Amino acid sequence: MKWLDEAGIAYRFHDFRKDGLAPEELAKWLAAIDRDVLINRRGTTYRQLDDKAKAALAGEEPAAVLLGAPTLMKRPIFACEGTYLVGFGDAQKAALKDLAG
């Protein structure tokens, strides 16, 4: 958030682990973001999933698993006018600057 402040980029922070995540918002993310980008398969939450939950993430209905364990998603996720960015590397920072104008 410090970087966003210093770059003069307005934002609204939403901690979906603490504040929850609306199923409708997750549906937008799943439609717009490649699952390989969105799902953190390296974290302990993913490694602790049973095979059925892992299969659900790869299948047609990953939403229930992701809503039940939002830490499966990589963070941060930036949403700006239908564009979604996942992560906070140099590429995402450059894209955020472009989106902010």
From CA 52, how far away is CA 66, in angstroms rounded?
13
Domains of the chain listed by start with CATH number: 2-100 (3.40.30.10)
CB 74 within 8 A of CB 89: no
From CA 68, how far away is CA 3, in angstroms rounded?
30
From CA 78, how far away is CA 87, in angstroms rounded?
8
pTM: 0.87
Q: Dump pLDDT digits (tens) for 8-45.
A: 999 999 998 889 999 999 999 999 999 999 999 999 99
CB 92 within 8 A of CB 85: yes
Assign residue 68 a region: left if phi > 0, alpha if psi is -120 to 50, beta otherwise?
alpha
